[in-house]
Amino acid sequence: MAFTNLKNETKLENGYNFAVELNSPEADQLFKNKRYGLDAVIFQSSGVEVFHRYDKQNQIIFWGKDVDKNKIIIAKRIKDKLVINDNVYSKPSEINPLKI
């Protein structure tokens, strides 16, 4: 499962994008730092894992059109917690993708 910002959801059809693994230190760091926005999307897609030297993190490069928009899960930030449906998480690595 991949984790990226909500702003990227609108770009899913426009070529290559990047995300990080949902259950990774990179996802927790992005959520904590609010670098790419407050909310996030979670989805499944194939991609290539690379190390981004400037960001100093592992990222997944994926083709936006390969993501099934009907299966995108939106994670909203409310009081520095991630909320998916009625479930509340302190950080992305707490999310079990089999239970959402």
- Please write the tens of the pLDDT for every residue from 39-86: 888 999 999 999 999 888 999 999 988 899 899 999 999 998 999 988
**34 conformational bin, left if phi > 0, alpha if psi -120 to 50, beta if neither:** left
For residue 65, the one-letter residue type is: K
Look up the pTM and report it.
0.79
Q: What are the Cα distances from residue 64, in Å, to 9, 12, 34, 85, 91?
A: 9, 4, 22, 24, 25
pLDDT of residue 98: 83
pLDDT of residue 34: 83
Q: Alpha-carbon distance 23 to 57, whole Å?
A: 14
Query: For 54, what's the count of Cα atoms within 13 Å in the CB-facing half-sphere?
Result: 0
